[in-house]
Structure formats: structure tokens, C-alpha cells
Amino acid sequence: MSPKTSPANETMLELSGVHKRFGGLHAVNDVSFKVPTGSIKALIGPNGAGKTTLFNLIAGNLPVSEGSIHFCGQSIEGQKTYEIARMGMARTFQNIKLFHGMSALECVMVGRHSRSRSGFFAGMLSLPTTWKEEKAIRARSMELLDLLGIADLADTEATSLAFGQQRAVEMARALALEPKLILLDEPAAGLNIYETAEVARLISAIRDMGITVLLVEHDMSLVMDISDEIVVLSFGSKLAEDTPANIQQNEEVIKIYLGEDETV
Ligand SMILES: Nc1ncnc2c1ncn2[C@@H]1O[C@H](COP(=O)(O)OP(=O)(O)OP(=O)(O)O)[C@@H](O)[C@H]1O
Ligand SMILES: [Mg+2]
């Protein structure tokens, strides 16, 4: 029997020569990188660099034009978004997507139901066989709201919450999937410095729970503080991949990105 590779040496996500074309626009151009299991990796770059497009390719919302993406050693080619989610990948969106008419708790429970045995609709119909499961889902969802610091808002309609709180609900919903990998698209966008510090603490806490994180973020101090490694995209191409300390010293990166405006 061959010895098991330690988690630290394993790769959670691997992109190889990934391209995405929208008609004549080459939005992602030959991008390759790995996300090591248990790490926080950040994807940065100016507006329009292709970061969200890359997330859409990884999560299966868009097909790649060329190249391959492997999640937990398995190709995601041809897989539907819900199949990829069931494999253990969750995401939050740059533009918050919460359901109208649902409380914060219900929004999180929907995320949890999508991985439960009896499923969301059986849960909605309160079939007797699902009661026990429903109770467990409710309890776990409350725990996640508590982790995100918004347990007291569980019964408030999610879309009526303040922006930062809605982001917290989205994150709780993604965590409810019990993912192995979470993709966070600009989790600190629109937040003040206190809320941003809280997001930094949360992302570190998520990693400490054993969840690998791939993060898109414009807030450089947040990225530099919490990331193990950073990939820099520019006009769809990978410009650099390195540790935060080295990225901060990289002349090309400073020129195209960091030099422009530190908080862009
Ligand atoms: N579905 C689409 N159809 C056509 N073009 C698209 C589509 N999605 C993205 N694009 C284009 O691809 C390029 C990359 O966009 P993307 O949203 O990935 O950038 P980004 O790095 O996330 O930018 P931002 O920091 O502003 O969020 C842009 O020129 C954008 O207009
Ligand atoms: Mg984007």
C-alpha cells in the first residue's frame, strides 16, 4: 500500500491552460494555477481582468472554451453547477443573490437542504420522514448564522438587512453546503473598515474549519493579510503568482494594479 499524501500536499483545484472567449473578446487567456488543499488563495486584478468569469468557469456556470479544470482530482467538464456543488464547491456572488420573502434563517436552510437526503421540496412539505432532518438543518443553520455574528437576525427578511449583513447571510448559505472549497467573489465590496476586518476574521475562521478558500477581492490590505498565495490577472492573462510579500514587491504588478489606487 502506498502511503497517503498529507493534505498539505494535495491540490483542491487545478486550472490548466484555461481560455474563455465571448465572441471576439478573450476574457480568460491561458490561465493555469493550483489551489492547495487547506489554503487561502486570492485572485486579484483590475476591473474586467476576468476574475468573475474564472469563477463562473470553475463553478460550472459557463463552459471553458479551451483547457481543463479539476476539482478534487476530477474534471468538471460537462458537469452542471448543482453537480459541482454536490462535489463540495460553494460560492458567493459579486452581486448578492438572496431570495425575496425569506428570512435570513430560511435562506441558509435552503443552502443546507440542497445537500440533504430528502431535499428542499420534501422539507417544504414537512413530510414526516424529514422532520428529524429538518430539525438538524435548522440547528446547523442557526449555528452558521451565529458564526457569522447575525444569529439575532435569523427571523428578519434577508433582503431587508443591511448590505454587510446580507453578505454574511450569503456566506452562511454557502457554508451550509458543508463545502470543501468556497469561492468568495468580493466579500468585502461595499463594506466599511470594521466590517472588512470582520470578513477577514471570518475567512480565516472558514479556513481553520478545514475549508479551502479561493477569494476575489479588491481590498488589498485584506488580501495581503489573509492569503497564502495570490494570482494576479490582467486582461485575462496570469501576470504573476506568488506569496503576498513577493506580490507587493513585483514591479509589473505594482505598475498595472497596485500602483493605480490601493483600494480600487
Ligand atoms: N457573459 C458575458 N458575455 C460577454 N462578455 C462578458 C461576459 N461576462 C464577462 N464578460 C466580459 O469579460 C471581461 C471580464 O469580465 P469579469 O466580470 O470576469 O471581470 P472581473 O475581473 O470580475 O471585473 P470586476 O473587478 O469589475 O468584477 C469583461 O470585459 C466583461 O465585459
Ligand atoms: Mg468581478
Task: Please state, in angstroms and as integers, the Cα–Cα distance from residue 93 to each residue in 53, 68, 166, following that order.
Answer: 11, 23, 11
Domain-located, residue 122: yes
Ligand nearest to the CA of 47: 1
Quote the pLDDT of residue 180. Answer: 97
Domain-located, residue 4: no
Pocket probe mutation, ligand 1, options 51, 64, 186, max atoms within 8 Å of Cβ: 51
Domain-located, residue 30: yes
Residue by residue, what is the 3-state secondary structure of 18-75? EEEEECCEEEEEEEEEEEECCCEEEEECCCCCCHHHHHHHHCCCCCCCEEEEEECCEE
Quote the pLDDT of residue 6. Answer: 45
Say yes or no: CB of residue 36 within 6 Å of ligand 1.
no
Tell which atom from ligand 1 comes closest to the C-alpha of 233: 21
Instruction: For ligand 1, atom 25, name the residue with the nearest CA.
Output: 47
Say yes or no: CB of residue 93 within 6 Å of ligand 1.
no
Q: What is the pLDDT of residues 90-134, one digit of tens each?
A: 999 888 888 888 999 999 998 776 665 555 555 555 555 577 788
166 and 122 in a common domain: yes
192 and 222 in a common domain: yes
255 and 223 in a common domain: yes
Ligand nearest to the CA of 235: 1
199 and 79 in a common domain: yes
Residues around the ion ligand 2 (C-beta < 5 A): 51-52, 94
135 and 31 in a common domain: no
Instruction: For ligand 1, atom 9, name the residue with the nearest CA.
Output: 53
| Residues in the chain where the model's pLDDT stays below 70 | 1-9, 113-129, 257-264
Domain-located, residue 93: no
Nearest Cα residue to 228 out of 85, 37, 42, 1: 42
Domain-located, residue 1: no
19 and 77 in a common domain: yes
Quote the pLDDT of residue 129. Answer: 56
**Domain containing 222 — which CATH number?**
3.40.50.300
Domain-located, residue 227: yes
Domain-located, residue 202: yes
Instruction: Give residues with Cβ within 8 angstroms of 111, minimum separation 6.
Output: 90, 141, 172, 173, 174, 175, 176, 177
Domain boundary at 146, 177, 208, which?
Answer: 177
258 and 183 in a common domain: yes
184 and 82 in a common domain: yes
Neighbours of 243 (CB within 10 A): 13
Pocket probe mutation, ligand 1, options 21, 28, 53, max atoms within 8 Å of Cβ: 53
Domain boundary at 157, 177, 197, which?
Answer: 177
113 and 64 in a common domain: no
Domain-located, residue 2: no
Task: Report the number of distinct structural domains present in the chain.
Answer: 2
- Domain with 152 in it: 98-177
162 and 40 in a common domain: no
48 and 33 in a common domain: yes
